Amino acid sequence: MTDHTQIYVNGEWVAPSSNDKIEVFNSTTEAVMGTIPAAAADDATKACAAARAAFDGWAATSKEDRVALLNKVHEGLVARADEIATAITAEVGMPLKLSKIIQAGNPAMHFQQAVNILEEFDFDEEVNNSQVVKEPIGVVACITPWNYPLNQITAKVAPALAAGCTVVLKPSEVAPMSAYILAEIIDEAGFPAGVFNMVTGYGPTVGEAMVISDDVDMVSFTGSTRAGKRISELAAQTVKRVSLELGGKSAAIILDDADLTKAIKGTVGACYLNSGQTCTAHTRLLVPEGKYEEAKQIAHDAVSGWTVGDPTEEGIRLGPLASEQHWQRVEEYIQKGIDDGAEVILGGTGKPEGLETGYFVKPTVFGNVDPKSTIAQEEIFGPVMSIITYKDDDEAVAIANDSIYGLAGAVWSGDQDRAMGVAKRMRTGMVDVNGGRFNPDAPFGGYKQSGNGREWGKAGFEEFLETKSIQL
């Protein structure tokens, strides 16, 4: 049990004004693994005021001073990587081996990347008779999700601090333990008081108080499209900049000249990572009509190899979902797919045999899915794949684009030029061609209701900058 009783405001660990607590559950055992404060709106308001008071001083610091502090955070994250991975595996359910690489490795990478960009970034540019200056936007409210908890925090906090902004963080109450580790590391690094603040609690209280605060200049949010819409409405009242990374319903288009086995295995990997709790998951598998039966068998065999169980054990590829509430939601979607007449190729409702305790879901593959059906249109956020057939390339692109989302996708083909042509027609922020590996230096973000703005790399850094023209 880890019981946190304080929040981090103005360089100090302080008791919140509310005595309410939130229980954090182990997703495998369903036992309470700790508690955190359910802070009040007033606590968020005080944190925003502290960030505002600290902004001018932090914005005026040199690159060298910022780099030195950011490097200390990087070193701290590396030193506590095992602790971070263990906590997130317990909260979220990702297999421990993967958590060490992704859930603990990516946060350290974000701080190293922020240092690298800051050291090379030119904040001044001459344009004819003008000096164009890039300046930190101000106080940034960061509101983050539970599926990749520390990764999503550091993808915002690292570039924001590097850019010269001050930060108020509200981590997810479902998976908050790694956020406390980061706050401890930042505290030990010696940042000026108020540069980084963390307030735990619920979105409608703490989150909304941050969004409406007059002290906040920008909101950076990752989470559901529903919550993103609410944040946009509230932030509009003070005309804040809002960066949103929201949901997805990504399609993998397998063209008729692709290596079918390789393509389907690659798509399965992109769909079931982190038990499907990934916004970029390739959950719609589009195959030519004439290859459906073959594709169905390959998908069945591939998914059958994804062993489900305790994510701390060797050989487990699919852990539980993060919470009972989310488990119920995914089960309802699986039942909806059955009720709507989709073919159940593998899986279905209920927990896997022998896994009655823990938020486990059967890895499920639906076939002959109507592209207009609920399971083909709505984000399930679990280990559920839908196989959809198409007649030709034009129809494949039309089906892929027939979504309110536009975050990620994939194209598989034996002809790279043909694949690129299809990729450019997809209305989505990221596309993998023939299993192209993820590039952390490239912009991360989507079209349509998948959000606006970009994270990662130089594009993510520039989100936290304002532009000023000085005419000479």
Residue 449 has pLDDT above 90, yes or no: yes
For the segment 282-306, the average pLDDT, to the nearest whole number, is 97
How confident is the model over 70-112, as pLDDT tens digits?
A: 999 999 999 999 999 999 999 999 999 999 999 999 999 999 9
Rounded-to-integer distance, Cα 56 and Cα 79, Å = 31
The four Cα atoms 248, 254, 259, 261 give a dihedral, to 10 degrees, of 60
Residue 1 has pLDDT above 90, yes or no: no
Q: Give the pLDDT of residue 386.
A: 98
| Token output for 90 | 């317990």
Q: Could you tell me if 387 and 299 are in contact, meaning their C-beta atoms sit under 8 angstroms apart?
A: yes
Active-site residue, 271 included: no
Q: What pLDDT band is residue 202 in, cutting at 50, 70 and 90?
A: very high
Q: Give the pLDDT of residue 288.
A: 98
Task: Check the CA dihedral 439-167-83-318 and report its sign.
Answer: negative
| Token output for 220 | 């950076």
Residue 39 has pLDDT above 90, yes or no: yes
Active-site residue, 30 included: no
- The alpha carbon of residue 455 and the mean position of all alpha carbons in its chain are separated, in whole angstroms, by 10
Rounded-to-integer distance, Cα 328 and Cα 324, Å = 6
| Active-site entry in 91, 208, 245, 331 | 245
Q: Give the pLDDT of residue 442.
A: 97
Rounded-to-integer distance, Cα 121 and Cα 127, Å = 17
| Active-site entry in 279, 331, 379, 463 | 279
Domains of the chain as residue ranges with CATH? 2-246+450-471 (3.40.605.10), 250-439 (3.40.309.10)
For the segment 431-458, the average pLDDT, to the nearest whole number, is 97
Task: Report percent pLDDT > 70 for the chain.
Answer: 100
Residue 371 has pLDDT above 90, yes or no: yes
Q: Give the pLDDT of residue 31.
A: 98
| Token output for 325 | 């509430």
Q: Could you tell me if 427 and 326 are in contact, meaning their C-beta atoms sit under 8 angstroms apart?
A: no
Q: What pLDDT band is residue 188 in, cutting at 50, 70 and 90?
A: very high
Residue 367 has pLDDT above 90, yes or no: yes
Rounded-to-integer distance, Cα 428 and Cα 414, Å = 22
Q: Give the pLDDT of residue 219.
A: 98
Residue 134 has pLDDT above 90, yes or no: yes
Q: Could you tell me if 355 and 318 are in contact, meaning their C-beta atoms sit under 8 angstroms apart?
A: no
Q: Residue 291's closest CA among 303, 299, 280?
A: 299
For the segment 379-403, the average pLDDT, to the nearest whole number, is 98
Task: Report percent pLDDT > 90 for the chain.
Answer: 100
DSSP bridge partners of 117: none
Q: Residue 392's closest CA among 286, 319, 284, 311?
A: 286
For the segment 277-293, the average pLDDT, to the nearest whole number, is 98
Other CB atoms within 10 A of residue 112 CB: 18
Rounded-to-integer distance, Cα 330 and Cα 139, Å = 36
DSSP bridge partners of 452: 244
Q: How far apart are the first and last CA of the chain?
A: 61
| Token output for 166 | 């001050």
| Token output for 193 | 């008081």
pTM of this prediction? Answer: 0.97
